Amino acid sequence: MKKKSIFLVLILLVLTILSSFYVVGGTQAYSHYQQSILEDQQHCGGQAPVRICVRAPTAIFSAFYPSYVSTQYPLFTIDYSSSEPLTLILSVTVTHFSQTQTHTVNATTGTQSSTFIPAQLEQALAKLTLETNTALHVEVKDTRGHSYYVDDIALLLHSRWLMQWTTLNRLKIAAWVTPGAPSIAKLVTKATAHLKDQEAPVPAAMVGYNGATPQQVMDQVDAIYDTLWKDYHIHYIQASVPYSATALPADNTAMQTVKLPAEVLQQHSGMCIELTALLAAAVERIGLHAEIVIIPGHAFLGVALTSDNKQFQYWDAVDVNNNVAADSAMTAANNLYSQNEKQHTIIDTILISDARNTHIGPMF
């Protein structure tokens, strides 16, 4: 019995030592992993007496880029120093995508930082429908033109169709709501002709909240909705919205390709988030306040009946396939909202005006 006890103690001791090696090894591996990420994002060098470190992401969601420019988000950073006082000219360009942004700085022995977000080239975003490998071109010179640092840092530009559904990016979907697009203006013009199809008294035009009763606000949205199936013969495509309130920024499952309203109208088809963004664009164009409601796997439209946003009605584009009149679609969507509200399954309600207030404008 005594020998068995000693044997068991020895086994436990060996297992403890082995587990310690695994823990230490795992910790070291994780540390190396974290370090490798940082190294991928930092690119250092420079000719004496200048020291330069460029901090840049490895990939950018191009659909978000206009909002980065509007808010002057520090997407790229150059850390610089010099062992002797020196005036430097720092230049940054996203090749074939942005203009060149230049800062003139006074470098000293202490490390200083300068952030960059160069304006995009005209039409660069419109053409970006595929994943594109490009480079962040960085140059550092002095006032006499002597070069101290030049680098082309690999950079992936995601297609402008790609949306990353995370809580941090929730308002970014408003970039797909494009009320200024010519195709949306044409849609609203066509919808005006359908106002007469609503029960009197109806507004004579798309007036938004201007002198309109809550019922007349609904009439305007109904006319826009009916135009989708009466004039454009829009076909609804079944596709899930991969948005979860717990999704992390690195979660690849939260990615979704989303076409712009003009493309949906041109192709006469769209999934729920695309048709909801299309409706929201038309609603915003006439001055109404739209929101995008997200429930598990699905999105639909909410519209404030008064300008104070105290009361909403809802429309679900899933019914366009069946040529369902807008008032019936509204009833079904209101029931859907109420059901999910009772079950606490509404993931998010994204008010487009909230996005505009944080400088997230239409993509075009």
> Residue 93: is it exposed, middle or buried by C-beta count within 10 angstroms (0-12/13-18/19+)?
buried
Question: Which of 199, 212, 345, 329 minimizes the C-alpha distance to 276?
Answer: 329
The pLDDT of residue 226 is above 60: yes
pTM: 0.85
Strand pairing report for 76-82 and 50-55:
antiparallel
Reported as a single tens digit per residue, the pLDDT across 329-352 is: 999 999 999 999 999 999 999 999
Please provide the average confidence, as pLDDT, over all residues in the chain: 89
Lowest mean per-residue pLDDT among 22-26, 120-124, 158-162? 22-26
Amino acid at 194: H
Q: What is the pLDDT of residue 252?
A: 65
* The CA-based dihedral angle spanning residues 30, 31, 34, 38, taken in that order and rounded to the nearest 10 degrees: -160
Residues 140-156 pLDDT 10s = 999 999 999 999 999 99
Q: What angle do CA 151, 156, 162 make, to 5 degrees?
A: 155
Tens of pLDDT, residue by residue over 24-38, are: 333 343 333 333 333
Name the band, by pLDDT with cuts 50, 70 and 90, for residue 103.
Answer: very high
Q: Is residue 363 over pLDDT 80? A: yes
Torsion over CA: 291, 62, 157, 126 (sign)? positive
Other beta carbons within 10 angstroms of residue 315's beta carbon come to 29
pLDDT tens-digit series, residues 269-282: 999 999 999 999 99
Give yes or no for a contact between 156 and 166, defined as CB atoms under 8 angstroms apart.
no
